[in-house]
Each structure stands twice: as structure tokens, then as C-alpha cells.
Chain A
Amino acid sequence: MNDLKVLGEFYFSQLSNKPIWDALGRRIGRLYDMAIRWDSVSPQVTGIRYAKEIPALIPIEWVVAWESDGLRLSAAFDPLLTCPLHEDETFIGKWLLDKQIIDLEGSRLVRVNDISLSWVSHDDHQFLVLVAVDIGARGLFRRLGVEFLLSRIENKFVGSQYIKPLESRTSSLQLTREKEQLRQLHPADIADIIEEMDYKQRANFLDALDSQQAIDALTEMELDTQVEMINQMDEDRASDILEEMPADEAADILGELSSAKSEELLRLMESDDAEDVRELMQYEEDTAGSLMTTEYVGLPFWLTAEQAIAELRRLAPEAETIYYLYVVDDQEILEGVLSLRELIIAPPETPLKALMHTKIVKLSPYDDHDKVTDIIHKYGLLAAPVVNDRDQVLGIITVDDVLELLMPDRPRVESHTTLIARRRQAKGGHSE
């Protein structure tokens, strides 16, 4: 026999405080909390805590019936037979109920109002499985004992496979799985989630991300939050992250910190990265210089198309955009520009000098933001080079940077992944 039978479905709120009766009909206590083990896909209840003062558990196997007037045990109760909480188990009431979790499917932070459990039998074994958490208003009303008021509203569940609790536990197996799940979130979504957390949760959460993800997420955040987070991190970690961020973002953040703090962080950064950032920091807030990034693709004019493509392969991972390629001489003086398309369709032996456009739209680092916006808009550019008075390239300004200028009060980033996820109602409600 290999079929799964659902014997009953409960909410934690309905079970909580129910009396517990043993085989002799004695009242042993009440259901104070439940311990779960979460090492497989669906978390299972392993024991029941029957009094606030006693940390010991009644093993779940003893429970033979979940009735409206209480739980019944299969044997006579003896405190000596209870077991302690294992290292890989946690209490759901204490650890999950009323807490904030990440809904991985909807990519947002939500609060657990109730917990949905299923009592299933499989191969003559009976399990109590945590199926989903209830995050809707109906769950809230159920807790208050007035669920009937909202009986026409549907429950909002998040299936247990989509839950990432914020307080981490000890099971290492669980951690790897969580990291795997987090990897599927878009950095912009992670940024949104982090913005809603308190500073301790943020620190924990950043540790759970791999470093590239942490940097991507930080790059997506609003400046205020970035500054706050860098301020709250320890300095070594902060300088590591700043090194890896795009130089223009790092310069913006450091510009908001106190001068002592930013000096300290720059000192801890690797000298190349720090140098780039310092250069960008010298420009006033409202200038093109403050907007630009130094991570552009500059190619020497004597390369052939084929060599240029090879060079591009090397440079591309670091660059902010590769659709525009800037052709320079050995003094870094801007000679011309060509697009990625033009490079790819050109015969391999053509020198760049023959391919490039020499009539170039350029910006000075001291131009104001209005001028930058005007020029990028007027010529329909994806990026524009910023040069000094000797025509040496200092950096580029991309259309993204301009977009941020135009929408300074942009509401919290609503990326397409969130929108898609929101359209699908959280599935995995009970009896699945």
C-alpha cells in the first residue's frame, strides 16, 4: 500500500491550548506548542509540548486521535517517557507563528497569522505535516475567534516549500536548501525584502546570501538604505562589498557617509578600486561626473574587429554596458565610437579605425544633470562618454543612470518577477 490518505486538517490556532487526555482518561496538560523537524521537503511535527513550564515533549506517535474536545494518547502517560527537544527540531509556535517570513513565491516579506497542518497516513504510519502558513486576514480573524466574519474571503496560504523564515535554525541541511531557494530570487526582489527588515535581520540575511547576490541586491537598493546598511556593517565587510559594487554606486554611498568613515573604508579597499571611487567622489552632486561610471569598454584604435571581439570577451564582465564601444588612442583620448552590432557584422580583418564613427556626442564632467538628460534623450543614446578638456575618456553615463534622475521618487522597485508571482495566488494550501 503506497497511498497517502488525509485523515484530517487543522490550524495551529485550533489545536493550541486543547486539552490532552491519556489512555486512562486523565488530563495531562494542554497543547502549548509543537516541535517540528524540517529536513525533508515537508516539515513534520515530531512532538507536543504539554505545559509552559515543562520543556519535554510528548512524541507525536502517541497521539491516536485529534478530536474537538482534545487530543487522545494511545497509552498511559508517564513523564519519564517524554523526550527532550532534539537539536534539529524547533517549536512552531515560538519560531514561526506571528513572525515574519519570506514568501519565496511572491518574493516579499509577510507575517504568519496561522499555520495549516495535515494529518496524513502513509504505509500504516501517521504523520502530522506542516502544509502551509496562513498570511491572510482570515487567519487573523480566526486567531481572534471571529473567523465567521470573513468566511466569504479566501484563505491566503504560502506553501511550506516557499517559506524562508528569517530566524535561522541549526540544521545545516536546511541551510543549503535555503541558499538554493534564495538563489532564485531576483536581486531587486531581495533588495525590496531587505529594505523591510530590521537591522539585525538584515545582517543575518546577508550572511545567508552568497557574496555576489549580496552585492547585486545592495546595488538595487535606494541610496538611503544602502548608506544605512554600509553604516551598520563591520568595516571589513563593508569595504569588501564596496570594492565589488559599480564604482559610481560606491562613490554615491561613500559621499553620504561622514568623512572619517568614508576615508576609513576607502583605506580598507583595494587601491585600484579605491582610486576609481575617489576620482568619482570629487565631482559635485549635480554634475555629470557624479553620475558616470568608470567601467566602460575602451578599445585601442589599432585593433582589428576580430581582436576587438577577443578583447571584449575579457573586458565585458566588468563593464556596465558593452553595446557601445569606445575607441581610444594610447593617451586614452577618445577617437571614435562603434556599436556592438557594427563590430560583430564587420569582416574580421577590418581595423576599428575604419569602423568607428568620429562624430561623437560627448559630455564634460561638469555638465549639469539637465544637460545630460537632454543629450541622452535628444540623440536617443544608451550611453554617453564623459571626457575631460583634453578629450580623455573619464567614464560613461548610461541611460539607467538618467532614468533614475527622471524618477527620483520612484516607488519601490516592482520587478516583473514580483508582478508575475503576485498574479499567481500562493498555492499549496492544504490537502494537496
Chain B
Amino acid sequence: MNLKERFALFLAVMGPGIVTAFADNDAGGIATYAAAGAKYGYSLIFTMLISTILLAIAQEISARTGAVTGRGLSDLIREHYGVKWTFFAMSVLLIANLGTTVSEFSGIATSFEIFGISKYISVPAMAALIWWLVIKTDYGKIEKILLLLCLTFFSYVISGIMVKPPWSEVLVHSITPSFSGTPAFLLMAIGVIGTTITPWGQFYVQSSVVDKGITAQDYRYTRWDVLIGTFFTGFIAFFIIVSTAATLFANKIPIETAKDVALALKPLAGQYASLLFGFGLLGASMLAAFVLPLSTAYAVCEAFGFEHGISKSNKEAPVFFGLYTVLIVLGAAIVLWPNLSLYHVMLTTQVVNGVLLPPILIFMVLIASKKSIMGEYANTKLFNTISWTFTFVLISLTLLLLVCTLFPEFSGSIFGFLGLS
């Protein structure tokens, strides 16, 4: 095959990895990265590096499993681990995804508030619009428009360069782990990882690989798709942290609402900063709000053998449509709760995602390393060691967080013991 043909083949299988990557930088993602930069300056950039590598590993595993087996993750968990484990995994997914849906609607609400529209109007309207569009129209076209909106986040890259951050300091922080023993710092670290690698993202990338009809033979091209997507997730997140650290952290401006994050775009867009931010946030939130409830309903119905598919009627697939509707309605309703800090909702759900990720990760690695399922594409020993190490790191972080939150008085001694404080 010559280079041109290879490139054509790559273009044909491209998509799942890149779309997931952009949907990963959703409302919650932006909020978390910005908070990390504003509160802790450059010190959390190292976490970003870890989470990007972890994301690459996780996405690669999911995409490979999808291409080799031709099946979704929930399907595989059901067939190989039985009903009880599936129930557990699906409960985890439902909680995490409901949380994430809430954070997407918070993102939608915030972006409309930037344009001066109350959340009591925008959220119900957008919820209804999303519900209707997904069921009645061709989602593929909408997806392209939303992806275009997401491109506005590249403005953080430009902004990040324009503020002229101390690059040598940034570089040092990117490769040296720094650890502060406070639960708040830990929370932020888990949040950053939790927003980058999400349970739903893993399910989603696998099922879109399957939907695209990608097989084991085409897989090497999909691997590039996934790696390129991951790179952009990390790249944009890196610059959000840098630009917020250089503007907000340096000037000691605390972030109270997501709108404050727009301040980091001032160097680039001046007075239009919040407008630019608003559009980007809207695109990212809508993209994820479209994908999330739908993919959740698919995953759950696939696992339990309920009829599913948008082309079915409500009567044929009641569970599918019920679940889909409930997720959207509940997600929107929680956001409308009076006196709720949308910004804190976004942050909290990322931590919830981070805490719920390990069980899903364990299933993924277990399945991907089984020769009976994956054949010659099973994880190699080295790869398995790496993925288990990362899973273990994440689990320990989560446990540490739990301990620190539940027994704050212990945390000091634990960190003292570990020599970290």
C-alpha cells in the first residue's frame, strides 16, 4: 500500500477517538482545569501529564477491545462476568453519567447566562431541543456543528502563549511531581484525572468504534485516531491550566463561577473574552449532553437485553426511551434547583467520576488481557503491568481522598508517614 492509500484508510476510520477526546473537554473539564490553574498555579500540570498518559492507555484499550470483539463494553461485561457484576457496573455508569449530564447542563446554563439568558429559560429549552433532535433527526450532522464550536477552545492555546508564562517554570512543573497533603489538593488532582478519563468516555469510544464497523485489521489506523485525540485533550487542558495560572493565580483572583474562567482569555480577546468562552462552553456542553444520555441508555439496554435503538418506537423499546428521557429530565431538573452553585456542581461531578472510574477500568483491563476474548490482540505483559500500575495509582488516590474526607485528622499523619507533607 502506498502512503496515499494508507492516509485514505486512516481518514475512513478516523472519528471515534477524536470526537471522544473533544467531548472529554466538556463543561466539567474546563471548570476543573481552570480551577486547578487558578488555585494551585502550575503545580498541578504534572497531574495533567499523568492523566493524559492514562487517557491514552484507557482509550487505546477500549478502542482495541471494540475493534477486535465488535462489541460494546457492557455487552462483554455481561457475557463474561454475569448479571450481578453487570448490575454493579451499570449502576456505577448510571450514577457517573447522571452526574456528568448535570454538569453538562450546568455548562449550558452558564454559557447562556454569559449571553444574558436566565437558566430557567435556557435549560428547559435546550433539554427539550436535545431530546427532540436526537430522536427525530440525523445526529451525525449536528455533531459536526458542535465539534466546530469546540474548536473555540484553541483560543486558550493562543491566550496561553500570549500571556508569556514563565516557560522554564512551567516545564519544571510538568515533569516534577509535587504533592501537597491537603484533601483539597487531592480532590483537585482526582478531579483532573476524573474529568479527563471518564467512565462514559470508555464506553462511548468502544461503542463508536463498533458502530463504525472497524475490525481488527483496521485497528492500527484507529490507534492513531485515539492517540491524536488524546494528544489534543491534553494539549488544550495544558493551556487552560497555564493561562488560568498566569492570569488568575498570579493575580490572586479566586474563581467563584465559571464565568471567571473567561478572564483567562482576556489577553487574547479583550472585552470579547467572555463571549468567546461562552460559545466554546456551549459547544462542548451540548456535544456531551447529546452523547451522554443516549450512550448510557444504549449501554444499559445492551447489557440487560432490553430492546434499544433510536429507530425503534417508544412502545417497542420502553426501557430505552424511558432511561434516555429520565436522564435528560433529571439532569436538567437538578441544575434548576434554586441557589445551586453551577460551578461547584461541575467540579463535584468530576470527582465523582474519578472515584467511580476504577471499577470500570478494572473490567476493561481484565477483558483486554483475556486471550480467549482478544486472541492475538490481548494485552502484552508489559502493557498489562503498565495498565495495572495506573489503575492501582488511581485506586490509591481515590482511597486517600476518602480517608482524608472522612477522617481529616488522620490525613496529616498519613502524609507525614508517606513523607509527603
A positions within 8 Å CB-CB of B? 97-100, 110-111, 113, 135, 137, 140, 143-144, 198-201, 228, 231-232, 258, 260, 409, 411-412
Asked if B305 and A258 make an inter-chain contact with CB atoms under 8 angstroms apart, the answer reads no
0 or 1 for each of B112-123: is its CB under 8 Å from A? (1 = yes): 000000000000
Smallest distance from the beta carbon of B168 to chain A beta carbons, Å?
A: 49
Asked if A144 and B312 make an inter-chain contact with CB atoms under 8 angstroms apart, the answer reads no
B8 within 8 A of A: yes
Asked if B84 and A98 make an inter-chain contact with CB atoms under 8 angstroms apart, the answer reads no
Asked if A260 and B312 make an inter-chain contact with CB atoms under 8 angstroms apart, the answer reads no
B positions within 8 Å CB-CB of A? 5, 8, 12, 69-71, 78-79, 82-84, 87, 138, 210, 213, 215, 304-306, 309, 311-313
Smallest distance from the beta carbon of B389 to chain A beta carbons, Å?
A: 28
Given contacts A143-B84, A199-B215, A258-B8, contact A111 B311 (CB under 8 A): no
A contact patch SS? mixed
Query: Which one of A97, A137, A200, A260 lies within 8 Å of B5 (CB-CB)?
Result: A260
Asked if A135 and B305 make an inter-chain contact with CB atoms under 8 angstroms apart, the answer reads yes
Bound state CA distance, A374 and B92, in angstroms? 54
Closest residue of A by beta carbon distance from B79:
A98
Smallest distance from the beta carbon of B177 to chain A beta carbons, Å?
A: 42
Asked if B309 and A110 make an inter-chain contact with CB atoms under 8 angstroms apart, the answer reads no
For B83, the chain A residues whose CB sits under 8 A away are 98, 113, 140, 143-144
Smallest distance from the beta carbon of B63 to chain A beta carbons, Å?
A: 15
Asked if B210 and A198 make an inter-chain contact with CB atoms under 8 angstroms apart, the answer reads yes
Closest residue of A by beta carbon distance from B67:
A199
Bound state CA distance, A199 and B210, in angstroms? 9
Q: List 27 A-B contacts (CB under 8 A).
A: A98-B79, A98-B82, A110-B305, A111-B78, A111-B304, A113-B83, A113-B304, A113-B305, A137-B304, A137-B306, A140-B305, A143-B82, A143-B83, A143-B84, A144-B83, A144-B84, A144-B87, A199-B215, A200-B69, A231-B213, A232-B213, A232-B215, A258-B8, A411-B311, A412-B309, A412-B311, A412-B312
Bound state CA distance, A296 and B74, in angstroms? 48
For A198, the chain B residues whose CB sits under 8 A away are 69-71, 210
Closest residue of B by beta carbon distance from A201:
B70
Closest residue of A by beta carbon distance from B307:
A108
Bound state CA distance, A98 and B86, in angstroms? 10
Closest residue of B by beta carbon distance from A231:
B213
Bound state CA distance, A199 and B217, in angstroms? 12
Asked if B70 and A200 make an inter-chain contact with CB atoms under 8 angstroms apart, the answer reads yes
Given contacts A113-B305, A200-B70, contact A99 B79 (CB under 8 A): yes
For B79, the chain A residues whose CB sits under 8 A away are 98-99
Smallest distance from the beta carbon of A301 to chain B beta carbons, Å?
A: 47
Closest residue of A by beta carbon distance from B217:
A232
Smallest distance from the beta carbon of B206 to chain A beta carbons, Å?
A: 12
Smallest distance from the beta carbon of A205 to chain B beta carbons, Å?
A: 13
Asked if B311 and A140 make an inter-chain contact with CB atoms under 8 angstroms apart, the answer reads no
